[in-house]
């Protein structure tokens, strides 16, 4: 990333950051106790960059996304520490008007379930023009024209006549296109896609991924892509962050993470996927199961499943350390190597 | 030649939509051809992977074989015997030979029953003569078989993780010593690290107990991993079937090829997923008479619209349903 800034000054790097998550901690106050869903995580996404956040269910990916958008209901959620900085604005210092001005126009989100994220009782056209008229103060006719344009942009055939359709009249893939069109409607510079293809079949997934990719490049947006599917991030992201049990355990370029994973969890995850190419009789799973997040283990959360666990892992949580330029991992094995 | 354990011949299931009297008089009834004239067989000890996208009829096929729903026509033979001719008691006995494992281990286990009750139930039904003590002994054996401990026997499903619940569901299927296990997306709800554990368990159990599997899944890499032979379904039809290595090394049907090209491999150096088909999956409601893929197919010719392509053998045991190959 340093190489991309001609002057190389620190200001340039900061100015080039679209989104910065700094030491973010999110807790949920539940009847059964306090659940730390996101635990002191930090990462930056540069302008124009696509960043994939991967992890298994319950690892904290979606909570991170919602925390960025300030969509978490407080209580039960609590931002226990940290900041979210979007285009030099601290999201949690904004008033509710300022927040409304940002949502949609600077940052927008695409959800996994278009059926529940879109309103079933209004036509697609009504929902789209509503956004455009409120946010961009467009007239009815302008909004309609723009909505048609957006639906065409995301590849919906006979867009003009589909404005009068309801969400249930679209197929799964088409719904996701509608959702993307709505997210793009106010030209946000930043898009969060939370498992946008998980509910779709592979052939439809391929079309949606291609569409997101072309939109991002055409409109020069930055993207936070949340998924559990390592195959999807391998082809659609510049950099990757791996989450395990509320911690960010590794970040680096996509190539580095796949070619040279440094955290034992990432290594285990990559080894446990069945692959089309090579044929082994038995897979190499990660032993055990994810810890109970209400009573997480001391130290590194991964130690009960880790083949390399040492005494220090049971006591202290390892911080993220740079193991190679731009490649960070949170593992005590690397502390041993560098000391 | 030995008889295959399971033979399915011209199996068909049509559902009638708008089947009320008004629609029927108005001629508005429509037919959803969920499974349309499919045939395959599975030899003892073999795994057949049935793969396809949502709505292609793969789950319906699993349910038809166990007669959880009745087929419209066709034949199902297990060990050479015609399943559809069986009366209720004989069907009950036949179910002992074939057991299902479902996708969602959260809804397939009764939350009010302990593991002993869940795993003991198939034994109560199929082997009513066994004493409680023997049943408990057998349940402990089953738990051990699927990698769970003795201490788990009196717990309830909510005390287990998704992967452990799927182990329980597998143990329940194995309780009556079936010959055939039908897995309907049995690993789709699991995270990859746990999915690998369960796939290994399926394989290990097959080797230990000489099980035969019909493994239904949408995930091609899972199908590739677990199957000996593969059948690819598209809108109610089998479009290609053959040995797993042939199908994956040289897929022939345009749909199989498109399906494989769309899979994103977890390796940035592999080719990115490609789109080979235009448009969306065809509807199984009143489909055109010809090939179901004809409107999306890059190599379609006019006769594809009108003539259904039969499955032809293009290499030993490798069948493809396409006019233009």
Interface TM-score (ipTM) > 0.85: no
User: CA–CA distance from A206 to each of A108, A151, A173, A280, B156 (Å)?
Assistant: 22, 19, 10, 26, 40
Q: Is B262 at the interface with chain A, CB within 8 A?
A: yes
List the pLDDT tens digit at each of the 339 positions of chain A: 333 433 433 444 445 899 999 999 999 999 888 999 999 999 999 999 999 999 988 899 999 999 999 999 988 999 999 999 998 889 999 998 999 888 888 999 998 887 788 889 999 999 999 989 988 889 999 999 999 988 988 888 888 888 888 988 888 888 888 988 888 888 899 999 999 888 888 888 888 888 899 888 888 899 999 999 998 999 989 999 999 999 999 999 999 999 999 999 999 999 998 888 767 888 888 988 888 888 889 999 999 999 999 999 999 999 999 999 999 999 999 876 654
Within 8 A of B221 by CB-CB distance, chain A residues are 273-276
- Counting every residue written for chain B, the total comes to 325
Q: Is A289 at the interface with chain B, CB within 8 A?
A: yes
d(CA A76, CA A326): 35
Residue B18 pLDDT more than 80? no
d(CA A302, CA A307): 10
d(CA A232, CA A49): 16
Paired with B11 in beta bridges are: B38
Mean residue pLDDT of chain B comes to 91
Question: Do residue B258 and residue A229 have CB atoms under 8 angstroms apart?
Answer: no
Residue B202 pLDDT more than 90? yes
DSSP label at B85? Answer: G
Question: Do residue B265 and residue A209 have CB atoms under 8 angstroms apart?
Answer: no
Closest partner residue to B273 among A209, A282, A289, by Cβ? A209
Give the gap in angstroms from C-alpha B75 to the nearest C-alpha of chain A: 30
Phi, psi of A131 (to 5 degrees): -60, -45
Within 8 A of B53 by CB-CB distance, chain A residues are 201-204
**A·B CB contacts under 8 A:** 131
d(CA B268, CA A235): 6
Are A67 and A79 within 8 A, CB to CB? Answer: yes
The hierarchical CATH code for the domain A10-106+188-338 is: 3.40.50.300
B55: closest chain A residue by CA: A201
Among the listed residues B251, B218, B214, the one whose alpha carbon sits nearest the alpha carbon of residue B234: B218
Within 8 A of B218 by CB-CB distance, chain A residues are 201-202
Domain boundaries, chain A: 10-106+188-338
Instruction: Give the gyration radius of chain A's Cα atoms.
Output: 21
For B269-294, how does the pLDDT look when each residue is reduced to its tens digit (9 = 90+)? 888 888 888 777 778 888 888 999 98
Structure tokens at B212: 């035969």
Within 8 A of B292 by CB-CB distance, chain A residues are none
B189: closest chain A residue by CA: A57
Categorise residue A180: left if φ over 0, alpha if ψ from -120 to 50, beta otherwise.
alpha
B165: closest chain A residue by CA: A289
A156: closest chain B residue by CA: B279
């Amino acid at each position: 990333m340093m190489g991309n800034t001609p002057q190389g000054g620190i200001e340039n790097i900061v100015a080039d950051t679209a989104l910065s998550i700094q030491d973010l901690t999110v807790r949920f106050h539940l009847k059964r106790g306090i659940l730390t869903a996101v635990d002191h995580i930090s990462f930056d996404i540069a302008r124009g960059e696509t960043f994939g956040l991967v992890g298994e269910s319950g690892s904290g990916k979606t909570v991170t996304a919602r925390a960025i958008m300030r969509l978490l209901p407080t209580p039960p959620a609590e931002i226990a520490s940290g900041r979210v900085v979007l285009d030099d604005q601290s999201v949690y210092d904004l008033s509710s008007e300022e927040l409304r001005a940002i949502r949609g126009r600077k940052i927008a989100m695409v959800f996994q379930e278009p059926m529940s994220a879109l309103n079933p009782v209004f036509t697609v056209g009504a929902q789209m023009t509503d956004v455009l008229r409120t946010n961009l103060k467009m007239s009815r006719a302008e909004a309609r024209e723009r909505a048609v344009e957006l639906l065409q942009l995301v590849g919906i055939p006979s867009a003009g006549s589909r404005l009068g359709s309801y969400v249930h009249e679209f197929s799964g893939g088409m719904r996701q296109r509608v959702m993307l069109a709505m997210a793009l409607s106010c030209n946000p510079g930043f898009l969060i896609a939370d498992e946008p293809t998980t509910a779709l079949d592979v052939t439809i997934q391929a079309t949606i991924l291609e569409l997101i990719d072309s939109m991002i490049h055409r409109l020069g947006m930055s993207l936070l892509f949340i998924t559990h599917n390592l195959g999807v991030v391998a082809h659609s992201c510049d950099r990757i962050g791996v989450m395990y049990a509320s911690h960010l355990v590794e970040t680096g370029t996509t190539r580095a993470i796949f070619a040279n994973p440094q955290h034992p969890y990432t290594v285990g995850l990559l080894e446990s996927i069945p692959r089309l190419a090579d044929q082994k009789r038995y897979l190499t799973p990660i032993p055990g199961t994810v810890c109970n997040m209400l009573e997480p283990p001391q130290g590194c959360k991964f130690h009960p499943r880790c083949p390399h666990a040492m005494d220090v892992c049971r006591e202290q949580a390892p911080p993220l350390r740079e193991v190679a330029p731009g490649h960070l991992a949170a593992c005590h094995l690397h502390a041993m190597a560098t000391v | 030649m030995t008889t295959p354990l399971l033979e399915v011949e011209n199996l068909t299931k049509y559902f009638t939509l708008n089947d009320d009297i008004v629609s029927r008089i108005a001629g508005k009834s429509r037919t959803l051809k969920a499974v349309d004239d499919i045939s395959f067989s599975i030899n003892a000890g073999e795994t057949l992977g049935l793969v396809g996208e949502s709505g292609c009829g793969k789950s319906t096929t699993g349910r038809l074989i166990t007669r959880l729903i009745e087929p419209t026509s066709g034949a199902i033979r297990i060990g050479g015997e015609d399943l559809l001719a069986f009366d209720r008691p004989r069907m009950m006995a036949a179910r002992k030979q074939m057991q299902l494992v479902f996708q969602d281990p959260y809804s397939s286990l009764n939350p009010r029953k302990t593991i002993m009750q869940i795993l003991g139930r198939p034994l109560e039904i199929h082997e009513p003569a066994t004493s409680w003590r023997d049943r408990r002994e057998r349940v402990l054996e089953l738990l051990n078989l699927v990698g769970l401990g003795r201490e788990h026997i009196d717990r309830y499903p909510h005390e287990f993780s998704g992967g452990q619940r799927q182990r329980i569901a597998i143990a329940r299927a194995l309780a009556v010593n079936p010959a055939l296990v039908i897995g309907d997306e049995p690993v789709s709800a699991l995270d990859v690290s746990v999915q690998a554990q369960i796939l290994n368990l399926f394989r290990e159990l097959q080797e230990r107990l000489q099980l035969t599997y019909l493994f239904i899944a949408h995930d091609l890499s899972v199908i590739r991993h677990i199957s000996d032979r593969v059948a690819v379904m598209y809108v109610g039809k089998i479009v290609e079937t053959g040995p797993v290595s042939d199908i994956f090394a040289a897929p022939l049907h345009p749909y199989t090829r498109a399906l494989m090209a769309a899979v994103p491999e977890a390796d940035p150096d592999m080719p990115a997923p490609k789109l080979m088909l235009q448009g969306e999956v065809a509807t199984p409601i009143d489909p055109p008479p010809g090939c179901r893929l004809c409107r999306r197919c890059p190599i379609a010719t006019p006769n594809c619209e009108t003539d259904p392509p039969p499955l032809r053998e293009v290499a030993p045991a490798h069948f493809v349903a396409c006019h233009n190959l």
